[in-house]
Structure 1
Amino acid sequence: MSPQDRVRAALKELDLPGDVIEMDSSTRTAQDAADACGCELGQIVKTLFFFADGRPTVVLAAGDRQVDTALLAQLVGVGRKKLKMGTPDEVLAHTGFPVGGVAPVGQAKASDVVVDDSLQRFEDVWAAAGAGNAVFPVKTAALVSAVRGQWAAVTREPA
């Protein structure tokens, strides 16, 4: 089963309406995805993978924000040195998706999920769907409920 098909299956299993859209152009970066989807940069869900003292943690954040590792470390109860972003190989091994296509649903292994407050600005968002050219539209509240995410403030505006 392709990564995009895993996302399709997860959307169905989680009762999330909509489908995976495979674009002609890249959606690997938040800006690329916003351009391809015709939406605001903030409406792109960045799915970022961390290890908090070895514990897998996924952060969902608006595309126009950056994760503040000090805030995230404090939230998950580890020192900053115990929080590290997953390498591309670790991300692929844990989620089953390549960097630039990590979907918030259909991941290979379970993780704690933190949803940054920055996404509350939008009723509708777009998330990666398993490949660097695939996305799916979703209601923010439905996505957060489906992934059992914990709302928290863990980002800042880019410098």
Structure 2
Amino acid sequence: MTDERSKTDVSSDEVIRKYFDTVYKLALSQTKNQTFAEDVTQDVFVRFIQNKDKFESEEHIKAWLIRVTINCSKSVFMSSWFKKTVPLEEDLTFDSPEKSDVYFAVQDLPLKYRTVIHLFYYEDMNVREIAESIDVKESTVKSHLHRGRMLLKNKLKGDYDFV
């Protein structure tokens, strides 16, 4: 009898196709910069390819990708290279003014709220999945979602009737 665990049998290409948008959008949400988000996305998938034999399930892959994306995004700000750069304004285009207002309001949230808001609303993850992905308690995720929503409501107050 072998000690071989039931590993996932998905190809790197499949994983990259399936999770590219998730990783990129999360990196963009974290870094607020398209170039940094592209770099983080590339780093995450390189690390995935290097470690792909260690995953036991599809859920394990997704949680790992999210965790590594957050960590790589944080490391961008810690690098000495980043501290020496001067940011250029990026021209982001949106389909409607509402989308741009909401996008920028979300981007102005503190990182801990921005992360859970992004994962919940943009990646359709539930509270349990978010808690597992970012290694916090479910109650913490719920609290961050609530506080993030309140901050968004205050930022967007007066701009929209539905707020």
Task: Please give the range of the TM-score, normalised by the shorter of the 2 chains.
Answer: under 0.3
- Determine which structure has the larger strand proportion and give its number: 1
Larger Rg: 2
Structure richer in helix, relative to its length: 2
Question: Bigger relative contact order, structure 1 or 2, given CA contacts below 8 A and separation 6+?
Answer: 1
- TM-score normalised to the size of structure 1? 0.23
